[in-house]
Structure 1
């Protein structure tokens, strides 16, 4: 039988999940907007200190991925370690953005953010952290623009060899016969992959979690912290924006079907980028239970980024858990801090 305190907790949590705004409202680290244009808002967290770090999000994920919740915020961790974190926020995507592709990020948005961060620190080189496709953008930007003041890059959950991702094997098999049209026909009409579809796809990648969620809630109604972590994940997925049409087409054609990153060479429009041209030291971190970017898909960077030193580490966690899970502080974040301390350029 439950005591009165536990019963009150169970009742409060059940009400919050069913009728309230959730168990735990998001608490974001205070930030200062330094530059604000469409798809490139630049924010600084905390006061200006030494060692600037630019956080590069993937598309179709909110920039809050780096500032998830208390105790699971890479932003707060970086500040506590004497670094100055910045984030470039792309905002939402609409039909009007359908022509935006990889080139807009690699040749414009990400380089612009790096230069602005460097200027805030009297021209000092910038460390870069990219999660998922944010890591892809970071690596390709460095390869395409060796003149940029990038000191080191940490790519977290960033797949290189897409053949090693079992979840997309059926798409690759169909694509060998039909090309990219079955994957991209609808997005060309819609101008991209709408946010609701992105959110549905992410939930589908964690199908067991979704199916067992009611039982999980029932078993943990007395545990506010456990429910708060679950609730924060749900809120994170609900904030996921969509993909621009051209960008999604390029993901399907170049990364999924042609597996171009695995060859070390990728072409966007008239621009060919060689991963061997990456000159900044690279850390790649793969998650042991990541089904979106399995370890074998991530580790391939050690073979294709041949122009620099590349370090690979594994850490426990799913795709997002690798970046912001309860164990990230002792694993992924520790690897990043150690790497940045040892990296030289």
Structure 2
């Protein structure tokens, strides 16, 4: 009769996992206790749901040209200031930049008719006007991230006289070359029927779209990693902050969603210079200012092939394309970002500000 033998190592790992699973609820904070954002700011300007945040300086000497950050219309801006050690905003302030950031707010049903024209030619343009008046300058530097990078690019093409420098961080530019799951699904959306039926795109729908990008990683693996690191206070704190940020996804105005799906992904108008916003022609050939295109090689939300065409489409002779070995979030909220991405951006921007 054979004797069953169990590997002590496997038994130990199982018991340790069981202990972590049992103790996890007692060791973590509830979501509303997780604090996002550590850098002080004032609300400098407000229009409808949109707020223009002005972060308080951390140096006595500041770069002359102010920097306006156009955040994405998906999720909230807190990822730019997720905590003091990984804060994009704080790093720029410490480098001497005068930083403004657009918080698009939480759209309600009354905002379902807002589209590219309102976001670019009203909100973004009014923010630039306000900053120029407040700081006594004619131009600002603009950085846009993800979908905010697309908005910043469109604005800069329509109003090049107002933009000193353009930084496009993981922007959605060439929809046909985007190889992500979201892009492939979007290409077959009946955007008209969807928007006419539900109006604004609800947070649950948006979260679902992103969760299917990496279903096992998002639905299983990340929680296993969390349990395995339950005794690591820094890991738990970072995990909960990211989860809270993901959970606070606001709705997207229906008309903006419709124009985005049809104009960017399905018809691919922007890269072909066939796009019109508010009856104004958007031509990337108008981007004659210095342009810095930042691309994350491991980006699963906006594939590198989708962002890189911006570099080759602009006529500016002062342009740079940088590919970083990181992901979509790692580009702006990671130790790698602090040590590599931000110092390079700061140096480039100071030389042109």
TM-score of the aligned structures, taking structure 2 as reference length: 0.86
Structure 2 CA distance for partners of 1:259 and 1:50, relative to 1, 3 Å: same
Structure 2 CA distance for partners of 1:322 and 1:193, relative to 1, 3 Å: same
> Do the aligned partners of 2:47 and 2:123 also contact (CA within 8 Å) in 1?
no
Report the more deviating stretch, 305-314 or 108-117: 305-314
The correspondence for 1:311, drawn from 316, 320, 343, is 320
The correspondence for 1:185, drawn from 185, 190, 193, is 193
Please tell me whether residue 39 in structure 1 is matched to residue 49 in structure 2.
yes
Q: CA deviation at 1:168?
A: 4.1
Structure 1 residues 266-345: aligned runs within 5 Å: 266-343=275-352
> Do the aligned partners of 1:92 and 1:241 also contact (CA within 8 Å) in 2?
yes
Q: Could you say which residue in structure 2 is the equivalent of 1:4?
A: none
For 1:77 and 1:247, how far apart are their aligned partners in 2? Answer: 32
Q: Could you say which residue in structure 1 is the equivalent of 2:86?
A: 72
> Do the aligned partners of 1:74 and 1:324 also contact (CA within 8 Å) in 2?
yes
Structure 2 CA distance for partners of 1:172 and 1:221, relative to 1, 3 Å: closer
Q: Deviations over 1:50-82 (max 9, x none)?
A: 332111111122122321222111111011111
Q: Deviations over 1:8-49 (max 9, x none)?
A: 9999864243x6347853243111111222133112111396
Q: How many equivalent residue pairs?
A: 331
Structure 2 CA distance for partners of 1:212 and 1:273, relative to 1, 3 Å: same
For 2:147 and 2:183, how far apart are their aligned partners in 1? Answer: 19
For 1:9 and 1:213, how far apart are their aligned partners in 2? Answer: 14
Please tell me whether residue 63 in structure 1 is matched to residue 72 in structure 2.
no
Q: List alignment gaps of at least 5 residues for structure 2.
A: 1-11, 13-18
Q: CA deviation at 1:128?
A: 1.3
Structure 2 CA distance for partners of 1:38 and 1:269, relative to 1, 3 Å: closer
For 1:99 and 1:130, how far apart are their aligned partners in 2? Answer: 23
SS of structure 2 residue aligned to 1:324: coil
> Do the aligned partners of 1:30 and 1:45 also contact (CA within 8 Å) in 2?
yes
RMSD between superposed Cα atoms in Å: 2.5
Structure 2 CA distance for partners of 1:263 and 1:314, relative to 1, 3 Å: same
Q: Deviations over 1:272-325 (max 9, x none)?
A: 210110122111111111012122211111121124532110112221221212
For 2:301 and 2:183, how far apart are their aligned partners in 1? Answer: 12
Structure 2 CA distance for partners of 1:23 and 1:41, relative to 1, 3 Å: closer
For 1:172 and 1:237, how far apart are their aligned partners in 2? Answer: 21
For 1:326 and 1:188, how far apart are their aligned partners in 2? Answer: 43
The correspondence for 1:85, drawn from 99, 118, 129, is 99
Q: Could you say which residue in structure 2 is the equivalent of 1:200?
A: 208
Structure 2 CA distance for partners of 1:222 and 1:172, relative to 1, 3 Å: closer
Structure 2 CA distance for partners of 1:204 and 1:28, relative to 1, 3 Å: farther
Which 4+ stretches in 1 moved above 4 angstroms?
Answer: 8-14
For 1:191 and 1:33, how far apart are their aligned partners in 2? Answer: 29
> Do the aligned partners of 2:149 and 2:169 also contact (CA within 8 Å) in 1?
yes
> Do the aligned partners of 2:186 and 2:261 also contact (CA within 8 Å) in 1?
no
Q: Could you say which residue in structure 2 is the equivalent of 1:50?
A: 62
Q: CA deviation at 1:124?
A: 5.3
